[in-house]
Amino acid sequence: MKEHQEKRGCVVTGVAGFVGSHLAERLLSLGHEVVGVDNFFSGHPENMASFRDHPAFNFYEKSIAEQNLLEDLTEKHPSLNCCFHLAAIVSVPYSMDHEDETMELNFTATVRLLQSAEKLQFKRFVFAGSAAEYGNDQRLPLQEAYADENTAHASPYGRAKFLGSQKVASSPLGVALRFFNIYGPRQDPRSPYSGVISRFLDMALAEERLTVFGDGLQARDFVYISDVVDAYLLAGGLQDSSFEVCHGIYNIGTGRSTTILELAEIIKALTGNGNAPRFLPERPGDIRFSLASVEAFSKAAGWRAGTSLRDGLRATLQWYREHRPEE
């Protein structure tokens, strides 16, 4: 992809998170101004190390729940006209025990930011949705229309993300990207909010048995971080393209599923870990099967995930070998 000629001022909420930091890094490399927001609930300052001192980057330690957040940021940085809203409570188990807090941060704060973006005449508002919006729907691959008011969401996280996506998609400047299972460098394996790939890699490198919740036959659509960032840039109108992404909801995945047991075997082979997995009870709120239909965003943006699971795992493994803390 070629960079878009027009330089933008971009807000990235959740900028110290796994995905937010990769997005900010790419935006800065393309010459855009980035204003980052994070309160470090699940993000880490070290994720911003590669760009923290970049002259086009400004950081504010704030919560997205603050009133007039976008107004205050735009007053300080008048060039802002695009918001990538990634900040959220990202843990399904946490949301099960903190339903009201999850709804406040993942939905109510999103609506407030969107309304501010509209009032400030932003050009685009891109929201980080989730495959959890589909609940336990077994009509695979999952199409965007399958999630509706009748969907039985398995967690407050999934419900709040669904409501957020619906609200964003109804705005003429809103694009909601329903991400499936994102993985890659910088994902924190020690965090309770971490994905299965980072946890498996951490365990494998420590020569521990990989922990599988349930029977391991759960299936996921794993998408690599660089492909995810490409999708964000296209949704934000920040890549030269013959496509123009209209407001709406789009799945972001690979269109291929992998069971947790299959994933465990690949990681064991890549790391040389010969230990048999250990099995623990299934976790409440976890989805059984998940697979994206990616045709809608492919038609809207010309996008396809270009990184195979094995290639993405190799790159992620290399990063963990270089950055994994000593015991």
| Tens digit of each residue's pLDDT (9 = 90 or more) over 156-167 | 999 999 999 999
Token digits for 93? Answer: 């188990």
CA 19/CA 103 separation, integer angstroms: 21
| Mean per-residue pLDDT, 136-159 | 96
Q: What pLDDT is stored for residue 192 in this prediction? A: 56
Residue 207 has pLDDT above 60, yes or no: yes
Q: What pLDDT is stored for residue 43 in this prediction? A: 94
Q: How many Cβ atoms sit within 10 Å of the Cβ of residue 301?
A: 23
| Mean per-residue pLDDT, 119-147 | 96
Q: How far is the CA of 257 from the CAs of 211, 269, 282, 288, in angstroms?
A: 20, 19, 19, 12
Residue 4 has pLDDT above 50, yes or no: no
Residue 327 has pLDDT above 90, yes or no: no
Residue 1 has pLDDT above 50, yes or no: no
Closest C-alpha among 204, 197, 164 to residue 180: 197
Calculate the CA 5 to chain-centre distance: 26
Residues whose CB falls within 8 Å of the CB of residue 112, separated by 6 or more in sequence, listed in order: 67, 69
| Tens digit of each residue's pLDDT (9 = 90 or more) over 50-75 | 999 999 999 999 999 999 999 999 99
Q: What pLDDT is stored for residue 100 in this prediction? A: 97
The alpha-helical segments, DSSP class H, found in the chain are 18-29, 69-76, 92-97, 99-103, 109-119, 156-169, 196-205, 225-235, 260-271, 295-301, 309-323
SS3 262: helix
Token digits for 106? Answer: 């993942």
Q: What pLDDT is stored for residue 240 in this prediction? A: 73
Q: Which residues pair with 34 in a beta bridge?
A: 10, 57
**Taking all residues of the chain, what is their mean pLDDT, rounded to a whole number?**
94
- Which domains are delineated in the chain? 9-183+223-255+294-301 (3.40.50.720)
Q: What pLDDT is stored for residue 91 in this prediction? A: 87
Whole-number percent of the chain with pLDDT over 70: 96
Sign of the torsion angle spanned by Cα atoms 125, 286, 297, 20: positive
| Mean per-residue pLDDT, 17-37 | 98
Q: With a threshold of 0.85, does the pTM exceed it? A: yes
Q: What pLDDT is stored for residue 194 in this prediction? A: 67
Q: What pLDDT is stored for residue 324 in this prediction? A: 74
Residue 88 has pLDDT above 50, yes or no: yes
Helix, strand, coil % in the chain, rounded to nearest 5? 40, 20, 45
Residue 3 has pLDDT above 50, yes or no: no
